[in-house]
Homo-oligomer: A and B are copies of this chain.
Amino acid sequence: MVVDEGTEQEVDRLFHAMADATRRDILQRCTGDGLSVTRLAAAYPMSFAAVHKHVDVLARAGLVRRQRRGREQLVHTEHDGLRQLRQALDDLERTWRARADRMSDLLAEPGHRTPNTDGGQRR
């Protein structure tokens, strides 16, 4: 079971969430015990609302979890999200490698000539 179809959108969200320096920084800051959104917002040259939106993007991607503490909302990065991301990368690379292997099988037959950097990175 490589990727289960419906997950494609999840992967989209994951990569998209990571494609912003501010959001990646948020992930780092919210490691361990969480940070309140206002504390977080104070760290960036943008409005509270903007940071709030960033946190929202991260949350929808499953990269952070929010936990209420009184009137504050603690944000902490969800370790599992990172793992999921890595998983997605692994999946990609595995499929890609498998494809490359099948490729060279085909190319192993005589009469074929590859002009490019023939994919021989195994062992």
Contacts and interface: CB of A to CB of B under 8 A. Distances in A.
B31 A20 contact: no
Interface in A55-106: 67, 69, 74, 76-77, 79, 82, 85-86, 89, 92-93, 95-97, 99-100, 103-104
Interface string A34-52: 1000000011111000000
Given A24-B92, A44-B118, A99 B32 contact: yes
Interface residues of A, number: 54
How many copies of this chain? 2
Interface of A: 8, 11-16, 18-22, 24-25, 27-29, 31-34, 42-46, 67, 69, 74, 76-77, 79, 82, 85-86, 89, 92-93, 95-97, 99-100, 103-104, 107, 114-121
